[in-house]
Amino acid sequence: MRKTLYIIGLSTLVFSCASQKNVKKNTYQPKTPVVQPKTVVKTQTQEAQKPKVVSDHGVDFFTTNIADPAKNDNTASYGSIVSAKPAGFKVVKTYFPAMAQNFRQRYLILHYTVLPDDKSITVLTQPGVSAHYLVNNTGDNEIYQLVDENKRAYHAGVSAWRADKNINDTSIGIEIVNPGFTNDATGKRVFVPFSDAQIRKVAALAKDIVTRYQIPATNVLGHADIAPTRKQDPGPMFPWKKLYDEYQIGMWYDEGLKSDYQEIAQADFATKYIDSTFIFSVQTALQKFGYGIELSGKWDDATKKTIEAFQYHFRPQNFDGIMDAETFAILQALNVKYSIK
């Protein structure tokens, strides 16, 4: 009898929880939009504060954003909503936006095509390789979209950054039309500059993408950064500093901190250079910054290529793949500024 009462009691509890759920549904108040249009008046009804959904050609879109970007709270956002359409039932998108969600798009990766405009389009629309966007070099104001941002493009290949691997899964890829490099008589790589028009396009596009997806500065990278033993792009001609200075995109070091570290680094540098302890500390610093590098304690080929990739990005005046006091100082300054919390 007592057991029966217990079961009744338990089922009452379950039922009352379910009832509460129903009550909650009826009284649910969605979060207030972070940025309210100036025309919104305070007498706005709660109903009006729910994320609005419109349909166009069978596709639903949110027209308001109720997320708090300061908290990386991507509860709901502008853009298309991909959801099921189960036969005979209604999927409601605006009642219960969950807190625990974020964007799949967490990286922005830049490339060059090593091909002219027409061949870039041909190659990037064939099986096997693609990118979300292609920035041409024809001088017009168009940027080509080849892949939906919600879908995966094949641009990164085997890749790693910090704890992440297979960066295709979590990135937006931008290809820039550029021939890459040729080798001069001494075997040194000679890279071709990007046009100003291309850089303006890349900057505007990158700004839009990192803002919408709240992509952190540490995740705006070149292909060479995430695959340093295989890739060089977008190479030393890509103006990362200009993007940082003029558009607040990506990472750059503080000059004062770099100078301080350089003074320390260059003392007795030649002696340190051949010491395996120093090589370990360089490899550890590169790994801490984000590069997928093994701590071998030797200036092996993979380490040299990783240093070269770092120089393409942060010390493009000299990209010989040899660690010097300035390169090491820049690496240390970046590790202070962009340390993993």
Q: Which residues are catalytic?
A: 175
Nearest alpha carbon to residue 238 among 158, 309, 320:
309
How far apart are CB 335 and Zn ion at their closest, in Å? 25
As given in the structure block, the two tokens for residue 340 are: 């993993």
SS3 state at 89: coil
CB nearer to Zn ion: give 30 or 228. 228
Cβ at position 284, least distance to Zn ion in Å: 27
> How many other CB atoms are found less than 10 A from the CB of residue 223?
25
- Residue 248 token pair: 């607040």
Nearer to Zn ion, 233 or 326 (CB): 233
C-beta of 34 vs 146, nearer to Zn ion: 146
34 sits in the region (left: phi over 0; alpha: psi -120 to 50; else beta) called alpha
In the complex with Zn ion, the residue whose CB is nearer, 201 or 272, is: 201
What residues contact 100, with CB distance under 8 A and at least 6 apart? none
Q: Which is nearer to Zn ion, 215 or 333 (CB)?
A: 215
Q: Closest separation between CB of residue 253 and Zn ion, Å?
A: 24
CA-based radius of gyration for the chain: 26
- Chain position carrying tokens 């540490």: 218
**Alpha-carbon gap, residue 125 to 131, rounded angstroms:** 9
- 259 CB contacts (<8 Å, ≥6 apart)? 329
**Site residues, Zn ion (CB under 5 A):** 111, 223, 233
Contact 191, 235 (CB under 8 A): yes
